[in-house]
Chain A
Amino acid sequence: MDSDLNAMAGNAAMTPEHIAGEEPGPSPGASGGWGRLRPAMRWESGLVVVVIVIAIMGSALSPEFLTANNFFNLGLNTGEIAIMALPMALIIICGEIDLSVESTLGMSSALLGVLWADHWPMLAIFAVVAVVGVLAGAVNGLLVTRVGLPSLAVTIGTLALYRGIALILLGPRTVANFPAFYTNAGTTAIPHTDLPWSIGIFIVLAVIFAIVLHTTPFGRSIYAMGDNAEAATFAGLRVKRVKTSLFVISGLASALAGVLYTFRLNTAVQDNGTGLSLDVVAIVLLAGVSIFGGKGSIGGVFLAVLAFAGLQNALLLTNFNQEATGLVTGGLLLISVFVPNAAMFVRYLRQAARRATRRPPSEPALSLPRKDT
């Protein structure tokens, strides 16, 4: 009966070695019929169930929910967040975090607005925005890897800095007269589909990220350094270089999200994208990526995006106060960290009970699950 919980603990996000670190003795291996259930216990499977439940509840709440038109709207509001979630997943898997994505989005949006107002050709603007996105990521990456600063502090700093640059660039202005060719791409579907362009881009990127993360040495090295950066260094992995490149990719993706955001709303204003960083982090954690690094998958991110978008949309259709959807997002986030830990806790209680029957009760409780925060 133990192995089912082991399976959950082993595969799911938050638990692993960090919490179970001081587990004495060999943990009971998979035995009996429960071993076969292991794959079914994966985090992603749980997410599939969540997505299905949301779909059922959504369609029960409103006949609108499962319509193509609604899917389009649902995708429209999630595309940029979803695009930023991909590099964020990689960064968190390698043990860092990037809170500056919303400001990089804002900065590229402001740059797009300012340069367009100055009558630059659109393609030149795209090039400049891309370069600035790369630079923004590189500053994060170099401060984290070369100076050796905690990414949490660095990216809180650049969160303010990049937003500040957006404020300086744009001031109180609003730029809105973007060419229809581009703004249409922000509000219409890809021909012959019901998918907004931003979701189309997300799907293509998700496939690329999945291949890179799950099949290439580069991708595997991200897991290795997330699990143990020191061991990864000694194993000859270019930890600093890989981490820097991930921050650069994040900057570039956020710049892309900024362009899409601007075209979707047809406005460049200074507070574009404010507050999105935490949404992105929430999606990635919901996806089963461990905040301690070393665990997670792109499939999980994809499902978490679906769950997040579906939930927000279902709430919207039920006339739930839209601003209060954080209540549900937050609840989901809490559940996502507690499910694996509840499994740990039950396992711990069982082991304690078993020990109590086997050994004299004087055994000190040294095997309490460790907390690592």
Chain B
Amino acid sequence: MTATLAPPREPGSPASASSRRLAERVFRVREFGIVAVLIVFVAITAAIQPRFLSITNIQFVLVDATIFALLALGETIVVISRNVDLSVGSVLGISAFLTAQLASQAHGLPLPLVFLAGLGIGLGFGAINGLLVSLGRVPSLVVTLATLYIIRGLDVLIVGGSQVVPSSYYPSFLTISKATVGGIPDLAIVVAVVIAAGAYCLRSFRSGRELYAIGSNPDAARLAGIPMGRRIFTAFALSGAIAGVAGVLWASRYGTVDSTAGASYELQVIAAVVVGGVAIFGGSGSVVGAAIGALLLQTINSALYVLGVSPDWDQAIAGFLLLVAIVLDRFISLRLTVSLRRRSARRGQ
């Protein structure tokens, strides 16, 4: 459901050439704007400081961005259905600690089992969110705000003042985030595939389309016979499961895990989703956009660091960009509405 920007065509003008149509189509894609910003940003940074495009730096940015993009994927599924999941940071935190502990105490454990544990923890919390929202019929903002507190509280109770340190892991756990294929981190490849699969499901599967329908107009969706409870439950369960897996990656990437891991990460994830062109009130946007949004925010962080700008500027710039993104999006959709109206008026004649 990529919203398109249709430039008003002059009435009576001949059909444009196919190449022009292709260019038009590219420009119509909503994600184009953010990709352009990303390219311009990378180009300017690289021009000032070529080190930015060094292999190691790119690898670092990619690995950080993949964890971020993964969370954005889960959040997008929820946001598209006109809900929001504020608990992702807490789920990530508790999953990161528990799996890190698993990885540091059970050395013989095969890695897939550690991931499965993270997935299970996340799925459990996601299912609770989903049940509360879909069966309890209470707004997701309130439910997930509550579970944000509760899960973080559980985390603190379990962790206490302790922390897991990198030296205690078995070595292969730490290398998850460092392995590369042809210079590209394994993690980035896997996550890219997951995001592509997610995008395909949302775009082409019946259940995926139904999420957009629910987000666009819940009343109409219900009258159309869409099983709303089940769909929304699934969205939250998926978001939780993804946050659980992201927790494993977080532990592997940062090594040291205490009870504050992932705290207040949820708002950053929502920021990435919104920057990526997903409407906060549901019904439009794409997983790919959200992932690029996450990549953009991560790139900005890294670029400022490389450029020697004090990290104190990160937040202000990220916040400013988010505001610019939503203002631009608003104007684009306004223009879209106007041009659609004009077109339908012409057809009506």
Interface segment out of the listed A24-32, A113-121, A174-182, A317-325: A317-325
A37 lies within 8 A of chain B by Cβ: no
Mark contacts of A319-357 with chain B using CB atoms, 8 A cut-off: 1 yes-contact digit, 0 otherwise.
001011111111101100110010011000000000000
B252 within 8 A of A: no
Q: Is the CB of B326 within 8 A of A157?
A: yes
Residues of A within 8 A of B323 (CB): 143, 154, 157-158, 161
Q: Do the beta carbons of A330 and B153 come within 8 Å of each other? A: yes
Interface string of B314-326 (1 = CB under 8 A from A): 1111111011001
Q: Does A373 contact B153, Cβ atoms closer than 8 Å? A: no
Taking CB atoms, residues of chain B closer than 8 Å to A278 are 86, 145, 148-149
- Which residue on A lies nearest to B271, using beta carbons? A156
Write the nearest CB–CB distance from A292 to chain B, whole angstroms: 7
Tell whether, in the assembled complex, residue B319 and residue A171 are in contact, meaning their CB atoms are under 8 Å apart: no
* B106, chain A: closest CB distance, angstroms: 26
Stretch at the interface among A51-59, A211-219, A255-263, A364-372: A364-372
Most buried by B among A281, A282, A323, A372: A323
Report if A150 contacts B (CB, 8 A).
yes
A168 within 8 A of B: yes
- What's the minimum C-beta distance from A345 to chain B, rounded to whole angstroms? 8
Flag whether B141 is at the interface (Cβ < 8 A). Answer: yes
Bound-complex Cα distance A292 to B267 (A): 21
| Contact (Cβ within 8 A) A331 B150 | yes
Q: Which residue of A lies closest to B316 (CB)?
A: A164
A141 nearest CB across to chain B (Å): 14
B241 on interface, CB distance cutoff 8 Å:
no
When the two chains form their complex, are residues B271 and A160 in contact, meaning their CB atoms are under 8 A apart? yes
B150 cross-chain contacts in A, Cβ below 8 A:
326-327, 330-331, 334
Q: Which of B153, B232, B268 has the most CB of A within 10 A?
A: B153
A159 on interface, CB distance cutoff 8 Å: yes
B143 CB to nearest chain A CB (Å): 7
B270 near A156: Cβ-Cβ < 8 Å: yes
For residue B10, CB closer than 8 A to chain A, the reply is no
Report chain A residues within 8 Å CB of B315: 160-161, 163-164, 167
A328 touching B138, Cβ below 8 Å: no
Contacts of B319 in A (CB 8 A): 157-164
User: What is the interface of chain A mostly: helix, strand, loop, or mixed?
Assistant: helix
Query: Contact between B313 and A168 (Cβ–Cβ < 8 Å)?
Result: yes
Q: Is A205 an interface residue (CB 8 A)?
A: no
Do residues B280 and A337 form an inter-chain contact, with CB atoms below 8 A? no
Per the bound structure, the CA–CA distance linking A331 and B153 in Å amounts to: 10
Binds A, one of B154-162, B173-181, B188-196: B154-162
Q: Is the CB of A373 within 8 A of B139?
A: yes
Contacts A154-B323, A334-B146 known; A160 to B139 CB distance under 8 Å?
A: no
Known contacts A285-B142, A331-B146, A371-B228, A149 near B136 by CB under 8 Å: no
Contacts of A334 in B (CB 8 A): 132, 143, 146-147, 150
Residues of B contacting A159 with CB < 8 Å?
267, 319
Q: Is the CB of A338 within 8 A of B317?
A: no
Bound-state Cα–Cα, A291 to B142, Å: 8
CA distance A313 to B22 in the complex (A): 64
Partner of B316, one of A161, A292, A321, A341: A161
Contacts of A35 in B (CB 8 A): none
B152 within 8 A of A: yes
Name the residue of chain B whose CB is nearest to the CB of A97. B141
Interface residues on B, range: 35 or more
Q: Are B153 and A326 in contact (CB under 8 A)?
A: yes
- Is B310 in contact with chain A by the CB < 8 A criterion? yes
Please name the residue on chain B nearest to A326 by beta carbon.
B149
Complex Cα distance, B245 from A264, in Å, reads 41
Assuming A147-B330, A327-B154, A330-B147, is B322 touching A341 (CB within 8 A)? Answer: no
Residue numbers in B under 8 Å from A149 (CB-CB): 326-327, 330
B326 touching A153 by the CB < 8 A rule?
Answer: yes
Task: Let me know if A156 and B322 touch, CB within 8 A.
Answer: yes
Contact in complex: B83, A152 (CB < 8 Å): no
Min CB distance, B320 to chain A, in Å? 6
A39 to chain B, nearest CB (A): 25
Any B CB within 8 A of the CB of A224: no
- Whether the pair B313, A167 counts as a contact (CB closer than 8 A) is yes
Contacts of B302 in A (CB 8 A): none
Complex: A329 Cα to B147 Cα, angstroms: 10
A296 to B136, CA, bound (A): 21
Given A154-B326, A373-B140: A327 in contact with B145 (beta carbons within 8 A): no
Chain B proximity of A46: nearest CB distance (Å)? 16
Give the distance in Å from the alpha carbon of A152 to the alpha carbon of B280 in the complex. Answer: 8
Contacting residues of chain A (260-306) with chain B, CB-CB under 8 angstroms: 270, 274-275, 278, 281-282, 285, 291-292
Q: For window 181-226 of chain B, which residues contact chain A by CB distance below 8 Å?
A: 218-219, 222
Q: With A164-B315, A164-B317, A281-B145 known to touch, is A328 a contact of B271 (CB < 8 Å)?
A: no
Q: Does the CB pair A153–B219 fall under 8 Å? A: no
- Complex Cα distance, B160 from A344, in Å, reads 39
A99 at the B interface (CB under 8 A): yes
Q: Which of A165, A171, A327, A373 contacts B149 (CB 8 A)?
A: A327
The reply to whether the CB of A50 lies closer than 8 angstroms to some CB of chain B is no
Asked whether any CB of chain B lies closer than 8 Å to the CB of A91, the reply is no
Distance between Cα atoms of A292 and B153 in the complex (Å): 27
The yes or no answer to B82 lying at the interface (CB within 8 A) is yes
Kindly state whether residue A242 has any CB partner on chain B within 8 Å.
no
A158 and B133 alpha carbons, distance in the complex (Å): 28
Q: How far is the CB of A125 from chain B (nearest CB, A)?
A: 21
Contact check, A369 vs B137: say whether CB atoms are below 8 A apart.
yes
Asked if B157 and A327 make an inter-chain contact with CB atoms under 8 angstroms apart, the answer reads yes
Contact of B219 among A171, A172, A370 (CB under 8 A): A370
Q: Indicate if A361 sits at the interface (CB-CB under 8 A).
A: no
Within the assembled complex, what's the spacing in Å between the Cα atoms of A171 and B148?
Answer: 29
The contact sample of 9 A-B pairs, CB cut-off 8 A, is A19-B137, A149-B326, A156-B274, A156-B322, A160-B267, A282-B149, A323-B259, A326-B148, A331-B146
Across the A-B interface, give the 9 residue pairs with the lowest CB-CB distance, nearest first: A164-B316, A327-B153, A160-B319, A161-B319, A330-B149, A164-B315, A326-B149, A330-B150, A157-B322
Given A164-B319, A333-B142, A338-B136, 18 other A-B contacts at CB below 8 A? A149-B330, A152-B84, A153-B280, A157-B319, A158-B323, A160-B267, A168-B313, A291-B141, A333-B145, A333-B149, A337-B136, A337-B138, A341-B137, A345-B137, A373-B82, A373-B139, A373-B141, A373-B218
Which B positions have Cβ atoms within 8 angstroms of A? 82-84, 86, 132-134, 136-143, 145-150, 152-154, 156-157, 160, 218-219, 222, 228, 232, 259, 263-264, 267-268, 270-271, 274, 280-281, 310, 312-320, 322-323, 326-327, 330
